[in-house]
């Protein structure tokens, strides 16, 4: 006798009313084709890749990768930068990075000349970029914008929702492209952050170039002769898009911006009490 039958018998012996639960109706697919059709129907009604575009933006209506990372580390930092518009210090490392980026762009556009010593560890790679640029296959320092539905737009579009600034975009074939980002800092310890940045670039390209099927992102660490590579397919990006979209939506609809002070966040914060901070954050750790 099963456990259910035992309970039923005891209920009858004590005079309690027994209510039979209705068994769920389960339709069994007759064959593999019917089973596949049922799965497709379920996907059509419950699409995991669907994104929401019907929302009102808040005090910070536009995101970029850098502002999104700052928001996820400490929302109050973004509040000070975007709403209070507090000025930030320009560190020597940041100034050098901007100068090197300009140097790389100028060299590729020039089409000739000696590779600057700051770029010399990627001598052959930069000469290849020169030739590709001359062949019309390279775009340098382009500003990309997207609306809420990820449709591409320029930075002055009234409906812009997200921004990305690319160092180099290389069209490798009709269905493949490569995005290159120049880094003057180190690779070690930044792999996850830069990999996430690469995903952001690839998602922009995914919508800007619907004919592309593969998206390669390369980070060139110019001081260390190292690279970091990420490869995405259109199918992978379609799966990854909703989560990234939700992160950006959370930031651009935020109404409160709580501080998250801790040793690491405050040490490198532009408004903390560290070497590169202005001291404007009243929550910063000493």
pLDDT tens for the 286 residues of the chain, in order? 666 676 567 666 666 555 554 444 445 556 667 766 665 555 444 444 579 999 999 999 999 999 999 999 999 999 999 999 999 998 888 999 999 999 999 999 999 999 999 999 999 999 999 999 999 999 999 999 999 999 999 999 999 999 999 999 999 999 999 999 999 999 999 999 999 999 999 999 999 999 999 999 999 999 999 999 999 999 999 999 999 999 999 999 999 999 999 988 898 899 998 888 999 999 998 7
What confidence score (pLDDT) does residue 274 get?
84
Between helix 92-110 and helix 123-134 the angle, nearest 10°, is 50
Q: What is the enclosing helix (H) or strand (E) of 204? A: helix 191-208
Q: Please list, in sequence order, all residues whose beta carbon lies within 8 angstroms of the beta carbon of residue 136, skipping any fewer than 6 positions away.
A: none
Assess contact for 104 and 119: CB atoms under 8 A.
yes
Task: Identify which of 59, 83, 67, 88 has the alpha carbon closest to the alpha carbon of residue 280.
Answer: 88
- Please tell me whether residue 171 adopts helix, strand or coil conformation: strand
Q: What is the DSSP letter of 135?
A: T
Torsion angle of C-alpha atoms 188, 193, 99, 178, degrees rounded to 10: 100
Task: State the pLDDT at residue 14.
Answer: 63
Q: Model's pTM, two decimal places?
A: 0.81
Residue 206 phi, psi dihedral angles, 5° rounding: -55, -40
Q: What is the pLDDT of residue 285?
A: 84
**Within a 10 A sphere around the Cβ of 133, how many other Cβ atoms?**
20
Predicted pLDDT of residue 25: 44
pLDDT value at position 148? Answer: 97
Q: Is the dihedral of CA 126, 132, 135, 141 positive or negative?
A: negative
Comparing C-alpha atoms, which of 75, 50, 54 is closest to residue 63?
Answer: 75
CA dist., res. 254 & res. 95, Å (int): 31
pLDDT of residue 151: 97
């Amino acid at each position: 006798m099963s456990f259910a039958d035992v309970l039923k018998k005891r209920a009858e012996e004590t005079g309690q009313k027994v209510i039979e639960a209705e068994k769920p109706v389960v339709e069994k697919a007759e064959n593999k084709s019917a089973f596949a059709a049922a799965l497709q129907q379920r996907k059509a009604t419950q699409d995991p890749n669907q994104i929401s575009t019907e929302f009102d933006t808040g005090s910070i209506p536009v995101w970029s990768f850098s502002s999104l990372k700052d928001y996820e580390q400490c929302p109050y930092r973004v509040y000070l930068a975007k709403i209070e518009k507090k000025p930030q210090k320009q560190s020597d490392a940041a100034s050098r990075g901007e100068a090197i980026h300009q140097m790389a762009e100028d060299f590729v556009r020039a089409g000739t000349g000696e590779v600057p010593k700051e770029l010399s560890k990627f001598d052959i790679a930069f000469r290849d970029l020169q030739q590709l640029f001359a062949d019309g296959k390279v775009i340098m320092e382009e500003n990309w914008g997207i609306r809420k539905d990820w449709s591409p737009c320029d930075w002055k579009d009234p409906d812009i929702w997200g921004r990305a600034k690319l160092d180099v975009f290389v069209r490798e074939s009709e269905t493949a492209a490569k995005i290159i980002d120049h880094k003057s800092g180190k690779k070690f310890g930044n792999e996850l952050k830069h990999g996430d940045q690469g995903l952001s670039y690839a998602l922009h390209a995914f919508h800007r170039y619907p004919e592309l099927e593969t998206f390669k992102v390369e980070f060139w660490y110019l001081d260390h002769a190292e690279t970091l590579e990420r490869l995405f397919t259109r199918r992978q990006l379609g799966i990854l898009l909703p989560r990234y979209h939700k992160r950006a939506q959370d930031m651009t609809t935020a109404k409160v911006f709580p501080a998250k002070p801790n040793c690491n966040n405050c040490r490198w914060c532009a408004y903390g009490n560290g070497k590169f901070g202005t001291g404007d954050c009243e929550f910063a750790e000493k």
